Structures are given as C-alpha cells and as structure tokens.
Amino acid sequence: MNKVTENLRKTAAKLLQDKEVDMVIGYGLGSEAVRTQPVFITSPDDVDKLVWNPFCVNGLTKYLSDMKDHPGKMAVVVKGCDSRGIYRLAQDSIIPRDKVVVIGIPCAGQLSYTKLASKIDVSGQLKDVEEKGEDVVIKTSKGDFTVKKSEVFLDKCTTCEHHNPVVADHVVGDAINTCPTPDNYDEIKKYEAMSPEEKAKFWLSQFGRCIRCYACRNTCPGCTCRECVFDAIKPDWVGKEIDVSENELFHLTRAFHLAGRCVDCGECDRVCPMDIPIRLLNKKLLKDCKELFNMETPGSTEEGGSVIGQYRLEDPEEFM
Amino acid sequence: MADKSLKKDQVKNLLNKIAQSNQLIAPILSDGITLFKPVQSGEGVVLDYQNAVVPPKDFFFPQSEKMFSYDMSDPSWAIKPEEGVPNRVLFGARPCDVKSILLLDKVFDAEFRDDFYIDKRNKTTIVAISCNDCRHTCFCGAFGISPGKAEGADLLLTDLGDRYLVEVLTDKGETLAANCSDLFSNDDGSGAAAKEKATAPALEKQMKIDLEGVKAKLDNMFDHPMWAAESLRCIGCGTCTFVCPTCHCFDIVDFNNQSSVGYRYRCADSCQFANFTRAAGGHQPRPSKMERTRQRFMHKLRYFVDRYGDFGCVGCGRCLEKCPVNLDIAQIINKVKEVG
C-alpha cells in the first residue's frame, strides 16, 4: 500500500471517529485494474476501502451538490483540478465552505482508462502500482504491465494548472514541485482560425452523434441548477428529439451557462461516451474570459465569482 | 444451403453489390469511434472492430423517430403517416447485438405489435460476423451467447484469416446469398473446424459470469440495502441505457411550434433520469437514485425474465465500459450472489 493511501485512511478514520464529518467521499478500487469508483465511507471501520492511485480520475465535488441537503458535514477527496470546484460551489452558494472538510491530494497526473485499455489487459484486479521514472508498473491479477506514463495520461493532465489543491483542510501526500503547465490554448487557436463554415462542419458533425445522455452535465460541478433547462417540460426550451439542431442547442446553451464558471476539470470530456470534445467549447470561453476580463480559472481562489455575473466599469465593451 | 466461402478481397465487392439494391448499414470508423451508419458502398467499412459504441438497435428502434405529421389548415385534418424504410442490410453485427434484436422482438412484436419496429425488422436482412477477439468488458457467454453463433441473423460470416466462412441461417439469408452467389464459392468442408478455432480466443478471453441463482435471489431483493449503497455513486446520466442494445423505453412528444403544422415523435428515454417517472401533479414513484439504479438492474435480470423468459442483457459490456462511475453490471451480478 502506498504512503498516500495509508495517510488518507488515517485522516478519514480520525475525521469519522471525532465526528467532525459523517461521510468521507473518496476513491475505492474499481471493477477493473485501472479503474476506481467513488466510495462513500460513513464508519471508521470502512476506511480501508479508500485508495489513492493514478486511476482516481473522477471529480468528486459534484456529489457535494447532489447531497447538499445531507444534514451532516462531509469530507471529500480532491485533486488540484477538482479542488477548484470547492470554491466554485461555495461562490455559487451551493455548498457553504464550512460544511465541507477538504482532503487534498497533490496529483502528478491521472491515467486514462480508455488509453490503458487499448494497450494492456485491464480486466484483472489491481494489486499494486509502482512509478518508475517515466514509466508506471501496473501489477494486476492478470499480470504486470509497464506503460510509459506520457502515453496514457488523461489529455487534461498534460496541461495542468494546479498539481496541488488550491484549497485543502488536510493535505495528504507531498506537495508536487513540478512547474505547472497551464494551457497556452494552442489547440483553441487552431479552431479559432477556422472559417465559420469549417467550424460549423466540425461541430455539427460532433453534435450529430450526441446521444443526450447528459453525462457531461451530471458530472459537472458547474451544473448546479435546481431544475436544468433541458429537463424542463413546460416550456420545453430544448426538445427531447435527438437531432443535430437540438443537440447543438443543448451543447451551446450548456457552454454559455458555464462561461466564467467552468473550473476546467475536464470531466465532461472524460465521461462522454461518444468522445465529443466538449471541453473545447468550455476552453474557448475560458480563454475569452481570461483575455477580456483578466479572469483566473474559476475556483482558483476563494474570492471571486462568476465573471459574467459581475460588472466593472473597466469591462471591455468593444463588441457592443 | 451449404456453407459458403468468401475471399477477403471480395468483401468490398459484396458490400458494393448489396448497396446497389439495399440500404447498407455497416460499422465505420467515425472520428475515432466505431459506429453503425448507412453507407453507400463498402468503402470505409470496418469488420475487425470489437464493439460499436452504440449498438445497431438504432436501426430498428431509433433513438428519435417521427411517428406522423399533420397540418390543421388542411380541411381534412389528415394524419400523414411516416414512410417506412427501404429494404436494408445490416452488415457486420456482432452475435450479442443480434441476440439483443431477438429480445427487442419480444417487446415490440408480441402482445403489442409496434408497426414502426416491425416495418424496419421485416425489411432488414442481418449479416452477422463472429467474434475472433473480444473486449475486456465482454461476457456474452453468461447469457448463452457464443462468439461463433448468431441466432437471429440471416447470414453469419466468420473471419478465417484469408477468407470468411459464410453460413446461411434463414431464407432471407439464402435470398441475399443467391443474389451474390458469383462472389461466393462452396466451403471445402474445413470451415466449421476452422471457425471453432478462430472464435475460441473470444470465448476464452471474455469475463466468466455465472448467473446461476441470480434471478431467484433478486426475486427477494427489492428492499435489499445493497441498492442504496451501490446507487450512491450513480450520477443519474443516461449513458448505460442509451448504449444498451436491449433498453427500449421511450417517450412520446408532440411538436407543433405554435403553428398549424406539427408532428409527433418518440424518442428513447432513460429510467435513470429523474423525470422519467415523474407524474402529473408531481408524484414521483422513483424519487431517488436508489429506486432508479435498482430498476435498471432488476429490469435486466429479473423483470425481463418474468415477462419474457430471458434475461434483458446480452453481456456486450457497453454500459460497464462507458459508465463514468464504474457502476458495473457484472460486478453487481457477483455482489447479488454474495450478499445475504
């Protein structure tokens, strides 16, 4: 067992024993070697179910808003990217900061299940993971596999702004001193350079295959509306019909709702079963908000709020 | 009809020939993922894929489908029915997906006859392809499905390396084979043994899930605490149900854009959505994730068996691979067996 897992369990056990929280939301072993699944620990006797490894891809802050009526205090395990969701939820008054105990874990990057499954047999049970320089050795009941980390990182992890959580009441694990590599938006610039026709062709082809499962919305810590506009029956702003025009309306509306609020955790991209690069839309809005309003990535600091929800005299208005 | 043989370099010719007189639906690689799409020719068709992200169910029970249209300014107020589909060939369906169509038949072509479904079903010839390999999430064997058999298909192709073994399974298949007979030769008798060898790895490699006693146990597990525990991590998206080859729940909606012209459509709905069961007046029989998660697994493994005598799952593994939170039906089956 790695040191982080050991300390994570100790921290969780103490929080539960001291009744500081009545639930710890973290990661447990998954059904396949390179997956984890979110676990909800309510007893100090169960903390052994918690793990930390390079497969802790899920963002867990969304569960806080799902359980916002939970009477007690909850602890949640966050990585750097997810930790921005904590401030985000507090700024939107969804979850008061003092209702959550944040267990932050410095993270050097998470490995993609999809990428790993295309390279190695992932069907066994995980025994151990060892990092060896550029490589990771994944020891499973079906054998040991050595993989080059850079080939299997989640795409988002190659441009990480916060290896260390921006907020944590308890930090488990050593701080990561690697210099952050914030996105220089090269990819977005590529799309910006396209003609409107090219953009339409690209996006309509992507939206055309959306199955409207709403996994992107449901995993998003920025999507916290009491009733989502896409679930409203009267008026039915967006029809339930699955076609490219309704799908486009869904994706663009969702992107605009998240402008200045998206914490750039990349979960929408990860969960999409149809591999639609949803995050590109949010990235474009993030880039615009940064350039126009000098905004930090939302949720990076305790202060602040939705940049679109604020007004400053010096706001640019050349587009008006 | 005796087994046939098709040379690898003749596959494209076969597809082109089929496409001349039928709508051809086949797996293609589209922006990095394999999907079944209507295609004009054999160009770009991939047959060595493992599993399409979305099953070919969509061509029998489309995710969204217009039922009829109307124009109230027309004095007769006539309802205009939708035109049916042309004759079609679904090419390259995997055995699990073919089995799922047989399960959908039990729903749409039995006590209630669904004309929309039946029209598509009748006009479609299914050419299945055996699995030589499988995904890490496959477990069709649990449901009596074999990588080398495709009950419900009209023709079955098996990749034997240099050629395909072509088995004619039905009259529909015989008609198709007869129309393309110039591309086939007679199998020399070695096909059956070669097929067994070719499909053995898929059988060997797949997850072994034993369903013995699961249905009987589930009969008494409606109030089991397991559902609450397992549902906690569910995020309530519809991924599992929309990638499922047997899920078939739908909603019916009228669209008229506040004009005299309008239409009615039906579209796939998901029991994992909160508003799936929300009734007029706000009553909600499945108020939380617990009830919804339980419903999905119970429907597949208990209610479907009660109603139709078969499990409502084919072990294609799509839901467990795509679930964002690793809510894995194979793991659930094993847990059902373990819990007290």
Residue that finishes a domain, picked among B178, B205, B232: B205
Chain B positions in Cβ-Cβ contact with residue A38 (cut-off 8 Å): 232-233, 325
* Tokens representing residue B200 in the block: 């053995």
Report the pLDDT value the prediction gives residue A305, as an integer from 0 to 100. 73
CB of A273 within 8 A of CB of B243? yes
Q: If you ran DSSP here, which 8-state letter would residue A174 be given?
A: P
Q: Which residue of A has its CA nearest to B272?
A: A213
Q: Measure the CA–CA gap between B320 and A273, rounded to whole angstroms.
A: 11
Alpha-carbon dihedral sign for residues A184, A210, B53, A81 = positive
Q: Which residue of A has its CA nearest to B254?
A: A239
Residue A300, number of CB atoms within 10 A of its CB: 19
Cβ contact, residue pair A58, B325, below 8 Å: yes
Residues in B closer than 8 angstroms to A206, CB to CB, are: 31
Token couple for A40: 């909800």
Distance of alpha carbon B64 from alpha carbon B70, whole angstroms:
18
* HSE-up (13 A, CA, CB side) for residue A312: 12
Q: Which residue of A has its CA nearest to B137?
A: A123
Residue of A nearest to B324 (CA): A271
| Nearest residue of A to residue B237, measured between CA atoms | A215
Whether A312 has a pLDDT exceeding 90, the answer reads no
User: Who contacts A68 (Cβ-Cβ below 8 Å, separation ≥6)?
Assistant: A94, A95
One-character DSSP codes across B133-157: S--TT--GGGGT--TT--TT-SEEE
The answer as to whether B65 is a domain residue is no
Are A40 and B233 an interchain contact pair (Cβ–Cβ within 8 Å)? yes
Yes or no, beta carbons of A271 and B324 under 8 Å apart: yes
- Choose the mutation target among A53, A274, A275 for the interface with B, i.e. most B CBs under 10 Å: A274
Out of B207, B325, B328, whose CB is closest to A38?
A: B325
CB contact under 8 A, B136 and A121: yes
Residues B253, B280: one domain?
Answer: yes
Instruction: Specify whether B30 is located in the same domain as B113.
Output: yes
Q: How close, in Å, is residue A244 to chain B by CA atoms? A: 11
Contact state of A37 with B326 under an 8 Å Cβ cutoff: yes
Contact A211 B235 (CB under 8 A): no
B67 lies in some domain:
no
Tokens describing residue A173: 């694990």
Does residue B60 form part of some domain?
Answer: no
Which chain B residues in 143-202 lie under 8 Å from chain A, judged by CB atoms? none
Do the chains contact at B326 and A239, CB–CB below 8 Å?
no
> Number of CB pairs < 8 Å for A and B?
108
Q: Is B111 exposed, middle or buried (0-12, 13-18, 19+ CB in 10 A)?
A: exposed
Interface test with A, best of B34, B233, B250 (most A CBs within 10 A): B233
Residues B33 and B178 in one domain: yes
Enclosing domain of residue B283: 214-338
> Does residue B241 lie within any of the structural domains?
yes
Same domain, B289 and B176: no
* Confidence (pLDDT) at A307: 83
Evaluate whether residue B26 is within a structural domain.
yes
Residues of chain B below pLDDT 70: none
- pLDDT band of residue A234 (cuts 50, 70, 90) is confident
**Contact criterion met (CB below 8 Å) for A264 and A216:** no
Q: Is B308 buried (19+), middle (13-18) or exposed (0-12) by CB count in 10 A?
A: middle
Is the model's pLDDT at A282 over the cut of 80? yes
For Cα atoms A37, A42, A45, give the angle at the middle one, nearest 5 degrees.
95
Taking residues A191-199, what's their average pLDDT?
Answer: 97
β-pairing verdict for B4-7 and B23-30 = unpaired
Contacts with A242 from chain B: Cβ below 8 Å: 63-64, 267-268
Residues 6+ apart with CB under 8 A from A303: none
Among B205, B238, B260, the domain-final residue is B205
Using a CB–CB cutoff of 8 Å, tell me whether B32 touches chain A: yes
Using the 8-state DSSP alphabet, how is residue B164 labeled?
A: E
pLDDT at A318 over 80: no
* Helix intervals (H) in chain A: 3-17, 61-66, 80-91, 113-117, 149-152, 186-192, 196-208, 215-218, 244-257, 267-271, 279-293
CA distances from B82 to A117, A206, B260 (A): 43, 27, 18
Residue B253's φ and ψ, nearest 5 degrees, are -135, 140
Amino acid present at A291: E
Report the number of distinct structural domains present in chain B: 2
A5, A204, B166, B324 from A157: Cα distances, Å: 21, 27, 47, 18
User: Is the minimum CB–CB distance between B214 and chain A shorter than 8 Å?
Assistant: no
Query: Chain A residues within 8 A (CB-CB) of chain B?
Result: 30-32, 35-40, 58, 62, 66, 117, 121-123, 205-206, 209, 211-215, 217-219, 231, 233, 236, 239-243, 267, 270-271, 273-275
Query: What would the pLDDT profile of A44-96 be if each residue is shown by its tens digit?
Result: 999 999 999 999 999 999 999 999 999 999 999 999 999 999 999 999 999 99
Q: Chain A closest CA to B211's CA: distance in Å?
A: 18
Same domain (yes/no): B327, B192? no
ipTM of the complex: 0.95
> Min CA distance, B202 vs chain A (Å)?
14
> How close A314 comes to chain B (CA, Å)?
40
**Rounded Cα gap, residues A187 and A193, in angstroms:** 10
Q: Find the closest chain A residue to B236 by CA distance.
A: A218
A240 to B33: CB separation less than 8 angstroms, yes or no: no
B232, B265, B324 ranked by CB distance to A215: nearest: B324
Same domain, B22 and B125: yes
Number of Cβ within 10 Å of residue B31's Cβ equals 13
**8 Å CB contact between B62 and B46:** no
Q: How many CB atoms lie within 10 A of CB B219?
A: 12
Using a CB-CB distance cutoff of 8 angstroms, which residues of chain B are in contact with residue A35?
Answer: 326
Tokens representing B299 are 């429907």
Of A213, A241, A271, the CB nearest to B242: A213
Cβ of B237 within 8 Å of Cβ of A233? The answer is: no
DSSP B215-249: HHHHTT-TT-THHHHHHTT----SHHHHS-SS---
Measured distance CA(B304)–CA(B311) in Å, rounded: 6
Residues B172 and B36 both lie in one domain:
yes
pLDDT in tens, B211-241: 999 999 999 999 999 999 999 999 999 999 9
Q: Where are the domains of chain A?
A: 3-171, 186-309
What was the pLDDT predicted at A232? 82
Q: Give the residue from B205, B224, B246 where a domain finishes.
A: B205
Please indicate whether, in this complex, the C-beta atoms of B324 and A275 are within 8 angstroms of each other: no
Structure tokens at A149: 């980390």
Using DSSP, state whether A229 is helix, strand or coil: coil
To the nearest whole angstrom, how far is the Cα of A219 from the nearest Cα of chain B? 7
pLDDT of residue A237: 80
Those residues whose C-beta lies under 8 Å from the C-beta of residue B110, and which sit 6 or more positions away, are B308
Return phi, psi of residue B246, to 5°.
-110, -15
Residue of A nearest to B271 (CA): A213
Tell me whether residue B174 is in a domain.
yes
Do both B19 and B142 map to the same domain? yes
Taking CA atoms, A115 is separated from A119, A175, A177, B23, in Å, by 7, 27, 26, 35
Q: Half-sphere exposure of residue B206, counting CA atoms within 13 Å on the CB side?
A: 28
Indicate whether B322 belongs to any domain: yes
Amino acid residing at A299: G
| Closest residue on chain A to B318 (Cα) | A273
Which pairs count as long-range contacts for A280-286, CB under 8 Å and 24+ apart, including other chains?
Answer: A280/A187, A280/A188, A280/A191, A281/A251, A281/A252, A281/A255, A282/A255, A282/A258, A283/A183, A283/A185, A283/A187, A283/A188, A284/A188, A284/A191, A284/A192, A285/A255, A285/A256, A285/A258, A285/A259, A285/A260, A286/A262
Tell me which chain B residues have a C-beta less than 8 angstroms from the C-beta of A218. Answer: 235-237
| Average pLDDT value over all residues in chain A | 94
